[in-house]
Structure 1
């Protein structure tokens, strides 16, 4: 496996950690809050 492929695999593995998934959801909900019309 060449270096580039190995880097991609490592990136996918690190992105898939529960902490990162939680952080992604948090970021998405923040974005949704900003997009929602203010009452």
Structure 2
């Protein structure tokens, strides 16, 4: 039972970190695209 509880914690933690990483990658992609776009404009 204790093992199952820890497994559930890991599951929720991994899903939360996964969404966080996705958001971070999205922000990084936006910055890179913005940079390329600005370079082209100039």
Structure 2-normalised TM-score?
0.48
Q: 1 CA distance for matches of 2:20 and 2:5?
A: 22
- Ranges of 4+ aligned residues in structure 1 off by more than 4 Å: none
Q: 2 CA distance for matches of 1:18 and 1:25?
A: 11
Higher relative contact order (CA 8 A, sep 6+): 1
Q: Is there any run of 5+ residues in structure 2 with no aligned partner, and where?
A: 30-42
Which of these residues, 2, 6, 9, is aligned with residue 24 of structure 1? 9
Aligned length: 24
Structure with max Cα Rg: 2
Instruction: Please give the per-residue CA displacement for 1:1-37, whole angstroms capped at 9, x wherever unaligned.
Output: xxxxxxxxxxxxx7xx100100000000000000002
